[in-house]
Structure 1
């Protein structure tokens, strides 16, 4: 969901561009944005992708299933375009027609440099410190459910 819609209820054609950028990064990484949790830093998929791309390690984002059949330059271009689409400010995002042009063009086109996605919510998942000995624990998030039985 685009940050301007989530925070202020404002929707525009640039909101769709944001969603397309998220979808592009989800396809490349093989991970859903709502299910992505970077254990160490509580990063979202967007910030994790940006950090890898900015360090020149964009190929670390790619789903391992795609590696044998991908062209590295095309994957990096898609990551770059995806990051351009998820800028916090809608005015900084490209239009969908620009996105289509960038995707369809050859590698001679020069793309703008994306900035770090400022709006992203990640959460750190704590690793259990002690092994749980009860085999009947069914909760993955430490929430308990009570079963009520009549007398």
Structure 2
């Protein structure tokens, strides 16, 4: 994702946000997703398009794969003005919010044959 037009000068501070996706989620939950873009792009027509792109992007990074839209759905979402579902917590979010009821993160599932694994979370 190109970051040249992204405003990173206000709260939440970019040093606490390790990715643009995390910053987008934080601003979305605060109800201020357009704080993500630079003021020079604040034209109302552009803002509507940017808001829709942010919304669709957050749908694409939801924690559970079955909640994420297919690519054909993404194309339709971006090309229409139909209402979009509210995005759920992203898979990369490591905040203080408890996991949603019924989500797989509430259950202990082992994906290792011997239940021994080492996982290191790193940015791409």
1:72 pairs with 2:60:
no
Unaligned runs of 5+ in 2: 8-12, 95-124
Larger Rg: 1
Choose the corresponding residue for 1:58, options 22, 33, 44. 33
Structure 1 120/53 Cα, relative in aligned 2: closer, same or farther at 3 Å? closer
Q: Which structure 1 residue ranges, 4+ long, deviate > 6 Å from structure 2? A: none
The whole-number CA distance in structure 2 between the counterparts of 1:28 and 1:114 is 25
Higher relative contact order (CA 8 A, sep 6+): 1
Q: TM-score under structure 1 normalisation?
A: 0.49
Structure 1: how far apart are the matches of 2:77 and 2:58? 13
Show the counterpart of 1:96.
71
Structure 1 unaligned segments of length 5 or more: list them: 1-22, 32-36, 122-151
RMSD of aligned Cα (Å): 2.8
Q: Distance in 1 between matches of 2:66 and 2:88?
A: 13
Q: Normalised by the size of structure 2, how large is the TM-score? A: 0.58
